[in-house]
Each structure stands twice: as C-alpha cells, then as structure tokens.
Amino acid sequence: MAAARNGTQVLPTLVSGTRFQYRVENAGSVPLYLQLIGLDASGDAIALYCPRSETEVDSGGQLVLQEPRLNPGETVIIPPTATEMGWVATGPTGLVQIALICSTAPFYKTRAALAAANSLKDREQLRELSNSLEVARAILEDLNGASGVAAEIVGSSRESVYAFDVNHWAALNFLFQVV
C-alpha cells in the first residue's frame, strides 16, 4: 500500500487489482460482533455478508443460532485468506471508505437485511448493496438494541428514536484511494 498526499494528510493508496484484508483483535473483556459497511470508488454502498452461523446449546438443551463473534483475546483476519473471497481493489479509481462497526450484541437485523438482497450468495463476501436504506436502518436498530438505553431516557417515542450507548459499540473508519 502506497500513500498519496491529500493536502497535509497522507492517504493510503491501493493499485487496482491489489488484494486486501482487515486484521481485528479483541483486546477487551467481552465478545464483539463485527460488521463492515462502506462506499466503493463509484459511491455505491457495500457491506460484508457472513451467512455462516454457529450454534450453541442453551440451558434447556435447545440449539440456539449464534452470530459469528470475536471473543476476548482472539484475532480475526477478514477475509480469512486474501485469495479465498477475492477481495480486490477494483472498479474505477477514486476513494473507498469502509467502516468497521463493533458491537457487544449480534447484528441480527443487519444480517437479515443483507440476506434479503438478491445479489448475495451463500458465502462470505463484500458486495454492493441493492437495499442500502434497509441495511442502514437495520444497523441503527441493532446498535440501538445493543445499547439498551432505558425507556425513561428516550421517553414515549421509543419506536422513532435511536439512543446509542458508546460503551456497547464503536466504529473504525478506513479511507483509501484506488488508482
């Protein structure tokens, strides 16, 4: 990855065709759930879709579907190998912006919205979204649910107000230029 000067800032640059990955380490004490979302160089909305899930057995002996999670002390590479999913900086030259959203609660509504997109297949992938508004709304609802802000704080408009507790989520923004 090269760096290009943008005024006084240095902007990372990827040559079109370059494969890339994200490495995320959970240095905290609680499990984290991850979601990648962003804009490609064309300005189209993109997101990471992970169809796989794990199952756990609850106290009643029932199988419960769980979101993939990053446990404390673990590190994950997204995608697992640079060639497996073929994440390649392609398309027109321009700026790409990716947000890595971490939450202490699963992204159930987001995954459902991503699964509803016709262009998504049954494998992990970073894809252009055909339903970006629904996915954005689902992310807000998931983060609102993870925050667990008391009803007395937001009042009677609980359905139309999102309240986020920054102790339950964080986002990292990655900006790079494709040339």
Max avg pLDDT among 68-82, 87-101, 129-143 = 129-143
Alpha carbons 76 and 25: distance in angstroms, whole number: 6
Strand, helix or coil at 52?
A: coil
Hey, what are 50's tokens?
């992970």
Confidence of residue 136 (pLDDT cuts 50, 70, 90): very high
pLDDT at res. 2? 59
pLDDT above 70 coverage of the chain, percent: 68
Asked whether residue 133 carries a pLDDT value surpassing 60, the answer given is: yes
- What's the Cα-to-Cα distance from 27 to each of 12, 31, 32, 73, 174, rounded to whole Å? 25, 10, 10, 5, 20
pLDDT on residue 53? 53
Entry pTM: 0.77
pLDDT number for residue 167: 87
* 108 compared with 92, residue with greater pLDDT: 108
What confidence tens digit (pLDDT) does each residue in 52-65 have?
A: 555 455 566 554 44
* Mean pLDDT computed over 135-160: 76
Cα–Cα separations (whole angstroms), residue 82 to 10, 18, 87: 25, 10, 7
Give residue 63's pLDDT.
44
How confident is residue 82, by pLDDT bands cut at 50, 70 and 90?
low
Average pLDDT along the chain: 78
Q: Break the chain into its structural domains and give their ranges.
A: 2-149+161-178
> What tokens does 118 get?
């016709």
* Cβ-based neighbours of 129, under 8 Å, separated by 6 or more: 44, 45, 46, 47, 114, 117, 135
Q: Which comes out higher in pLDDT, residue 157 or 41? A: 41
